[in-house]
Amino acid sequence: MASPIDTLKEFYQKYNPPIRAHKHTCVGLGMEVIKRLKLLEKDFPGITKAMMLVSCDENIEDLDDYTTSFPGPQGFLIETEKDHVLVAIHVKVDGRPGVFLSDLGYHISRAVTVMADRCYPHTGWFTQSDEPHCRKEYKYQFNADNASYVEWHERETRAAGVKERLSLVYVARAYLSAVEVTEKRNLVWDLRSLLARDPKGRLAAGVYFPLKLKDQEFTMFYDSTSGKQRKKFKFSVFLELQKIPDEVVEEVEQCNEQLRLRDGELLSILNRLANVMADAEFMAEVLAVNEKIVELSAAH
C-alpha cells in the first residue's frame, strides 16, 4: 500500500497539473490562442503547423552568459525557471525572417512583430499600459549573438524613477513541457492576481496580493461612479462570510461584476483564499517550495 504524502514538497514533486477551462494562466491562454487560430488554416494554409508555444525566462541578469553558454535553454534546464509561455509563428516578409508573438498571459492586446533586421514591420517600443501611477513600455528584438532568442525589454516609469527588466524568449523550438514545468512552477508563485482588462489591454478591475505569513492583505480595484477605486483589505475580514461588513460586500460585488464572474463568485473566492492563507503551516511550505525554485535558478 502506498505511503501517504506528508509534505507539500513531496506532493508538488509528484503532481501533474491539469489545464482547466476558464482557469487561465499563460499556458492555458497560449493553448487557447493556438486552438482558435487553427480556424484560419483555410485562409492561411500552413498556419497550424507554424504555430507553437515558446518558453520565456524572466528577469535575466547576464544576457551574454545566457545566450552564448549553451545552444538552448535545455542545456541548463535545472537552473532556469521557465516561468512564462507565449505563442510564436515564424514568418518571412519578402525573404526577411521574423516571428509573430502573442502574449495574452501579460495581457498584450496586439500581435507583436519581431523582424531579425529590426526594419518594417518590426513593432519596436510600444506602450503596454499607461496608468496615472505607472507607465509600462515593451520592446521585443532578436538577440544579436543568438537568433534562437528574442529579447523582451520592459521599461516601467513611476514617480520614483524608471526601472528596466529583461527577459528572454526561446523561439528556435516548440516548448513541449509547458504544463509539466511552467504551469506547475506558477502554482507556487508568490504573487497572485485575478484581473480583467479592456480590449486594448488596459486594467479594468481585479484583485492581487503577495503570499506572506504575516500582514496578509490584498488590493482590489474597480471603476465606480466616483472614479477608479483601489483599496486594501485584510484577508482575515473574509474568514467568515456572515461577518463581512455590508459595505465591503457591496464593493466586492462591484468588482465581481467588472471581472465578469458569476454572482457571488468573487466573494466565495476571497473566503476560500482567506482560509487557505490562515493555514500558517501550509503557507510556510508554499513559500519554501517557491524559494527553492528561485535558488535553483539564481545562477541565471
Pair (117, 214) in one structural domain: no
E strand segments, the chain: 51-57, 84-93, 96-102, 112-115, 126-131, 134-142, 149-158, 161-170, 191-197, 203-210, 217-224, 227-234
Structural domain including 151 reads 19-186
User: 21 vs 290, which has greater pLDDT?
Assistant: 290
Pair (274, 148) in one structural domain: no
Q: Which of 151, 186, 221 is the last residue of a domain?
A: 186
Pair (138, 210) in one structural domain: no
pLDDT > 50? residue 39: yes
> At 23, which amino acid appears?
K
Cβ contact 137:127 at 8 Å: yes
Please report whether residue 1 resides in a domain: no
pLDDT digits (tens, 9 = 90+) for 153-196: 999 999 989 999 999 999 999 999 999 999 999 999 999 999 99
Pair (180, 200) in one structural domain: no
Q: Which of 158, 186, 214 is the last residue of a domain?
A: 186
Q: How far is CA 243 from CA 15, 236, 269, in A?
A: 36, 11, 16
Dihedral of alpha carbons 43, 47, 48, 51, sign = negative
Residue owning grid cell 519554501:
288
Q: Phi/psi class of residue 55: alpha, beta or left (left: φ > 0; alpha: ψ in -120 to 50)? A: beta
Q: What value does the mean pLDDT take over residues 223-250?
A: 96
Q: Residue 159, SS3?
A: coil
Pair (181, 213) in one structural domain: no
Query: Which residues face 154 on adjacent strands?
Result: 138, 165
Distance in angstroms (rounded) separating the CA atoms of residues 90 and 58: 22
* Percent of all residues in the chain with a pLDDT value above 90, rounded to a whole number: 76
Distance in angstroms (rounded) separating the CA atoms of residues 192 and 170: 25
CA-closest candidate to residue 267, choices 285, 246, 286, 287: 246
Pair (138, 266) in one structural domain: no
Pair (156, 31) in one structural domain: yes
In total, how many domains does the chain have? 2
Three cell numbers at 207? Answer: 484583485
CA-closest candidate to residue 60, choices 80, 78, 76: 80
pLDDT digits (tens, 9 = 90+) for 104-117: 888 898 999 999 99
Q: How far is CA 196 from CA 3, 48, 87, 200, 228, in A?
A: 42, 29, 21, 11, 14
pLDDT digits (tens, 9 = 90+) for 249-270: 999 999 999 999 999 999 999 9
Q: Which of 186, 219, 250 is the last residue of a domain?
A: 186
Residue 133: its pLDDT value, please?
86
Residue owning grid cell 506547475:
184
Secondary structure tally for the chain: helices H, strands E? 8, 12
Pair (88, 38) in one structural domain: yes
pLDDT > 90? residue 197: no
The number of beta carbons lying within 10 Å of the beta carbon of residue 240 is: 11
Pair (197, 271) in one structural domain: yes
Q: What's the distance, Cα to Cα, between the start and end of the chain in Å?
A: 41
Q: What value does the mean pLDDT take over residues 11-31?
A: 86
pLDDT digits (tens, 9 = 90+) for 161-171: 999 999 999 99
- Quick one: how far is CA 125 from the chain centroid? 20
